[in-house]
Amino acid sequence: MKRILIATSNPGKLRDFAGAAAADGVEVEGVPNFAALPTVVEDGLTFEDNARKKAEEYSRAVPGEAVLADDSGLEVDALNGAPGVHSARYAADEPHRAGSNTDDDANNQRVLRELRDVPADQRTGRFVCVLAVARNGKTLATFRGVAEGRILDHLQGAGGFGYDPMFYFPEIQKTFAELTPEEKANYSHRGAAFRAFLTWIDKSPGILRD
C-alpha cells in the first residue's frame, strides 16, 4: 500500500484525508515527530501561498518523502470572503496578526454574530481547500477543491471540526458535521482536492513510496 505523509497535527484533517484515501489504497500518516518541528508561520495572502509554504518547509524534515500540506477555510459572501485565510484564528481581535489558532467554537460564534441580521437567502459561502505536495523543499504540484453551501444561523451536528456544524450542504440537506469521514470525503472541498491529487499520483509513478 502506498502512503502519503500529511503535514498537520489536526486530527480532524487527518480523519478527512484518511476518509478520502480509503477507497484508493493509499495510507495516510502524519509527518513523523511533527509536534517537535518548528511551526511554519502561515502569513500567505492566499490558501495556495500557505499550502506551498507548509509543504516545502515540512518536507525538508523527511528527505526524499513526498509531503502533503493543505490550507483551507470558509469564505462567506456576506462577509466579503471572510474569514478566508484567517479561518483558523478568526476569533482573535486581529486575526492577521494572531500567532496561533483560536478555538473552533469561538470562531464559529464570531461568524454567527456577524451574520445575525443576514437573511437566509444571502447566507451563501464556500469551503476552499488547496493542497500542495512537496519533496525536499520543492513544490511538485497543487490542487484546489471547493464546496458551495449555506451558512446556518445555528450549529448542527456533533462530528467534523472547524466550521462544519454551520456549513449546510443543500445537495444532501445536512451540515458537514453530520457526516462520517467517508461521506464527507465525497462532498467536501478537502475530498475534492485530495481526489485531484490521487488522480495526479496515478499518472505520476514513483511520487509515493510503498
Q: What is the DSSP letter of 3?
A: E
Q: Is the dihedral of CA 95, 113, 146, 155 positive or negative?
A: positive
φ, ψ dihedrals at 177, nearest 5°: -75, -5
Catalytic residues: 71
Instruction: Provide the b/e sequence for 162-177 (b: ≥16 CB within 10 Å).
Output: bbbbbbbbeeeebbbb
Distance (Å, whole) CA 144 – CA 156: 26
Cis peptide before 83 (omega within 30 of 0): yes
CA torsion 16→138→40→50, rounded to 10°? -60
Q: Is the dihedral of CA 93, 99, 101, 102 positive or negative?
A: negative
